[in-house]
Structure 1
Amino acid sequence: MKRKRVWLLIIILAAVLWVKGGYCFPEDIPFGGAVFREVSNLRQVSDQKIYSNFVILAEQKTGKILMNKQGNQKIYPASLTKIMTVLLAVESVSNDDREILLSQDIFQSLAQRHASMAGFLPGEKVKLKDLYYGAMLPSGAECCLGLAKYLAGSEEKFAVLMNQKAKEIGMKHTNFVNSTGLHDPQHVSTAEDLMILLRYALENPRFRKVFEAMQYRTEATQKHPEGLLLRSTLTDYKDQLKPKNGRFLGGKTGYTKEAGLCLASWVNISGKEYILVTAGARGDHQTRPFHVLDAESIYQEL
């Protein structure tokens, strides 16, 4: 009898180890500690390759979610916030060539918080379209505050507009309190909500043109007679992000100490477009680009 019980325990243990070894039902594949549905030719990506704590991969056209790792969990969106800021601006402005003044107080508040800047200067008159690119490519916080104050009178009032838009397009777990993504405990979103935002924004041709750009030269101003050359924070990784059988179309990075490394990106693979949002990767601007490595790993498996 004892011998039978021993053999039964051995059989149970072997079965557990067999499942742990990766032999799972085809519809439920472990992925970074979360369950991912196998879709089409999407293959398993090793857990060891994924650094981000939060991942959403979706088809751009249909919104169908292909991968979901804690996609509905609260995150700090960092500079992915600027997707909403630029979207609201292009939807609200009919004349992109209108100039606005970037006041001194904008720069004082941002300098104290060590915000990323595009390179515009206090007292500079800048065209609205140049602020779109300044906010999106080098992640310039001065551009976001300039747009917020122009469109709503203050950043606080602009945040109200951001939240109204978020609710309108189905971002159910998002609350914006600023236009830049600088850390605030109440400034939160989810990877899935940010996917919804980017998918919606890409339907706007003017937004899409900005999001696709890797570099852009602004028009001449009194402080930059030759214009200002703006480069995307992804410029150095463009080749790395190019998927097999496809093209990298555009992306926006984000980082704060609290948010970790974040990335919202858009690719075309074998004629189909995908949106990937990752957040909460460890590291910073001095470490390896773990958010980029995650995008590279995931896109290579599509």
Structure 2
Amino acid sequence: MGSLKEVANAFNPTVTDKLHSPNAILVCVDDHTILMQKKSEQKIYPASLTKMMTTIVAIENLPDLQKKIVLPASMFQKLYKENASMAGFVPNEKVKAVDLLYGVMLPSGAECCIGLADHIAGSEQGFVEKMNQKAEQLGMKNTHFTNCTGLHDEKHYTTVKDLSILLCYALQNKTFQDVFTSSRYSTSSTNKHPEGITFQSTMFKNMENPVINGGKIVGGKTGFTDEAGLCLASLAEKDQKEYVLVTAGARGDHQTEQYNIDDALEVYNDLGKSKFNK
């Protein structure tokens, strides 16, 4: 899966020059052809795009998605202190594994990541070893993880090219695809939230309209830290084909215009024009 094919002359400077993101790659999911790239092998910090790896590794290591997992009180203080994004679960809550997966991806909940990691591998570091093993297996040659949340660490890095390899792989998994393409999700009842919690995708929440020329954006995962900038990994369907776009490093934050989403709309709308797509 690690190999991507490049198309000659598909790199269109007029498109890439318009992007707010310094790093970008567009891949056709069907045949793994790279249609556009911009500094795609430059080292970046992935922020919450890390959680795509967290999710697929968790899925592949969970025999029963209906099993309830306890979120120990001990993990919360550190996450609160680091100002990590949270899904809304609380200490000692018993949550179905499948609900934690949605909590990782839609609201980008760090407590869901740690809960899954501890349950699967006994510790976050044990789980991170599995993440790095998967990266190596997929041919993500310029990637190294130190945590499962995407909180900034100098030694936690990747490239948009490696992330596109990861996403194309993960989308082959039905559970991952269901989670990645959901705009909203309501969890089942828990001991702390008898009514459950309803999550909204951070991407769809900030996207006024997912419709593009000839199709629509059907799924995505946002990411942001001060060091990583605004990042986005997305999936679009256009003219009966599927495309993955990964961008990183756009200036701005949660309060500014979401330039990562603007870039996705720009690229997908230009797809198919002139030399951009052979």
Task: Classify the TM-score, shorter chain.
Answer: over 0.9
Paired amino acid for 1:225: P
- The corresponding residue for 1:91 is 60
How far the C-alpha of 1:159 sits from its partner, in A, is 0.8
Provide closer, same or farther for how the CA distance between residues 37 and 293 of structure 1 changes in structure 2, counting only shifts above 3 A.
farther
User: Which residue of 63, 78, 87 maps to 1:118?
Assistant: 87
Q: Deviations over 1:77-124 (max 9, x none)?
A: 000000000101111112111001101111111011000000001010
Is the 8 Å Cα contact of residues 241 and 295 (structure 1) preserved in structure 2? no
Is the 8 Å Cα contact of residues 99 and 125 (structure 1) preserved in structure 2? yes
How far the C-alpha of 1:238 sits from its partner, in A, is 4.0
Paired amino acid for 1:245: G
Taking the aligned partners of 1:226 and 1:130, their CA distance within structure 2 comes to: 13
User: Which residue of 5, 15, 26 maps to 1:45?
Assistant: 15
How far the C-alpha of 1:63 sits from its partner, in A, is 1.1
User: Which residue of 121, 131, 155 maps to 2:124?
Assistant: 155
Taking the aligned partners of 2:163 and 2:105, their CA distance within structure 1 comes to: 15
Structure 1 unpaired stretches of 5+ = 1-35
Taking the aligned partners of 1:60 and 1:251, their CA distance within structure 2 comes to: 14
How far the C-alpha of 1:62 sits from its partner, in A, is 1.2
Provide the secondary structure at the position in 1 that maps to 2:56.
helix
Provide closer, same or farther for how the CA distance between residues 81 and 110 of structure 1 changes in structure 2, counting only shifts above 3 A.
same
Is the 8 Å Cα contact of residues 37 and 67 (structure 1) preserved in structure 2? no
Q: Deviations over 1:181-215 (max 9, x none)?
A: 00000000000000000000000111111111111
How far the C-alpha of 1:239 sits from its partner, in A, is 4.3
Taking the aligned partners of 1:237 and 1:296, their CA distance within structure 2 comes to: 12
> What are the equivalent positions in structure 2 for 1:177-192 lying under 5 Å apart?
177-192=146-161
Provide closer, same or farther for how the CA distance between residues 98 and 46 of structure 1 changes in structure 2, counting only shifts above 3 A.
closer
- The corresponding residue for 1:291 is 260
How far the C-alpha of 1:37 sits from its partner, in A, is 5.1
How far the C-alpha of 1:43 sits from its partner, in A, is 9.1
Provide the secondary structure at the position in 2 that maps to 1:248.
strand
Task: Give aligned-pair identity as a percent.
Answer: 51
User: Which residue of 180, 184, 196 maps to 1:211?
Assistant: 180
> What are the equivalent positions in structure 2 for 1:1-302 lying under 5 Å apart?
38-39=9-10, 44-45=14-15, 47=17, 49-302=18-271
Taking the aligned partners of 1:74 and 1:286, their CA distance within structure 2 comes to: 26
Task: Tell me the matched-pair count.
Answer: 265
Provide the secondary structure at the position in 2 that maps to 1:62.
coil
Taking the aligned partners of 1:188 and 1:66, their CA distance within structure 2 comes to: 24
How far the C-alpha of 1:153 sits from its partner, in A, is 0.6
Paired amino acid for 2:212: P
Taking the aligned partners of 1:190 and 1:59, their CA distance within structure 2 comes to: 18
Is the 8 Å Cα contact of residues 131 and 147 (structure 1) preserved in structure 2? yes
Provide closer, same or farther for how the CA distance between residues 38 and 181 of structure 1 changes in structure 2, counting only shifts above 3 A.
same
Taking the aligned partners of 1:108 and 1:153, their CA distance within structure 2 comes to: 19
Provide the secondary structure at the position in 1 that maps to 2:156.
coil
Taking the aligned partners of 2:105 and 2:167, their CA distance within structure 1 comes to: 13
Provide the secondary structure at the position in 2 that maps to 1:234.
helix
Is the 8 Å Cα contact of residues 240 and 296 (structure 1) preserved in structure 2? no
- The corresponding residue for 1:19 is none
Q: Deviations over 1:25-77 (max 9, x none)?
A: xxxxxxxxxxx95449x894272x31001001010111111111100000000
Paired amino acid for 2:258: P
Q: TM-score, normalised by structure 1?
A: 0.85
Paired amino acid for 1:168: Q
Is the 8 Å Cα contact of residues 234 and 244 (structure 2) preserved in structure 1? yes
- The corresponding residue for 1:6 is none
Runs (4+) of structure 1 exceeding 6 A deviation are none
Taking the aligned partners of 2:156 and 2:236, their CA distance within structure 1 comes to: 28
Q: Rg: which structure is higher? A: 1
Taking the aligned partners of 2:46 and 2:16, their CA distance within structure 1 comes to: 25
